[in-house]
Structures are given as C-alpha cells and as structure tokens.
Amino acid sequence: MAFFPFFIDISGRNILIVGGGKVALRKAEKLLPFGADIAAVSPAFCEGFAALDGVFLCCRKFADSDIDGAFAVIAATDDRALNSHIYELCTRRNILVNTVDDPENCGFYFPALVQSGNVTCGISTGGASPIFARYIKGKAAGMLDEKTLAAGEILARYRPVIKRRFDTEEQRKSAAEKLLERCTDSGELPEDNEIEKLLESI
C-alpha cells in the first residue's frame, strides 16, 4: 500500500528514541538536521551517540512516563515485546510512533531521505522494497548538484517578485516556468538584469 508523504515542521518538537544501538543512532542522525528536541533512553548507548550534539541521553531502562509530552516516539530496542508495549502506549495516547523493522507496529515510517539545503526528498515503497527506495534515493541525490540547488534559490528569491508583478495564477505559473527553464538550461545561471528582461518580456 502506498503512503501519503506528509512533510511536518519538527523544529522544537519533543521526539523520544527508545534504544541505544546503531539503528537508534541512525534515526537520531536523520532527525537532528531538522531541529527537533531529541531525547534517547536506554540502559546503554553505542559509541556514536556520545558524539551527537543535541541529543539528551538518559542512561536507564524505559519507563512508561517517558512518552509524556512526546510529539513522536521511535521504538528501536532489540526487545520486540518492549517495542510492542511502546507502540500500544503511544497508540492509546495518539502519539506518533515508529517501531523499527516492524511495519505492523508503526504509525509513521521513515522514508529514504535526500536532503540538501532547503530541498528534502522522501522516498518510500510502502515497505515493499527498501533496496529499491535506496536506488531511487541515489538517483535523486545525483540530481541535486550545485547548479540545480542554485536555480532553486533563484526561483525562491523571485517568487514574491512574480506574485507582485503578475495578476493571475496562470500568468504567475507561466513566468515561474520560463524562469525555471532558463535557470536549468545548459548555459550559466542568469544574472538579475537578465531575469528582469525575461519577466518584462512575458
């Protein structure tokens, strides 16, 4: 089954990771660039956790009250019974929960992520083929070269200009498409004076 890819601002949100192994570490590393307030609880942590700046480590066994105030919880222990218990707790309290390697006990899934600058791509196969998701991730990462990202910055900078200058949605769409076409052609990126002439010509 396909899943709808919600994009949610998690900056400042409380996210709890239960587990201290390499899988839990990878989840923390994925979340950190997006500004979440991350806490991890486990009797022991693998070496990489100590190097993470921005993750609060609580070295003890999980307690049910640990989920209090959590926006989302990741159950990443090697104890399936504990992971299932955490899933049940979170489900009863309408807290988003991901249980690693256990799709049946997940309220949300981690996609294969490609992230550069303001561009984030999430790829999911609905759990059917993680290796194919990684293949698509590699293809997407190859598209986000320096010129493409710079073109995106130009389009973002000129979006409010286009909204002010053109009255209808159809005109704005046409202007943005023409600017995108110019930014992604085989030549150099356009300077501001060239962009102004392009907009004037529309």
User: Residues 8-51: pLDDT tens digits?
Assistant: 999 999 999 999 999 999 999 999 999 999 999 999 999 999 99
* C-alpha span between 136 and 187 (Å, rounded): 27
Low-confidence winner among 50-54, 117-121, 180-184 (lowest mean pLDDT): 117-121
Q: What is the pTM of this model?
A: 0.82
pLDDT, residue 115, reads: 87
Fold of 1-110: Rossmann fold (3.40.50)
Q: Where are the domains of the chain?
A: 1-110, 146-201
Give mean pLDDT, residues 177-181: 95
pLDDT, residue 34, reads: 93
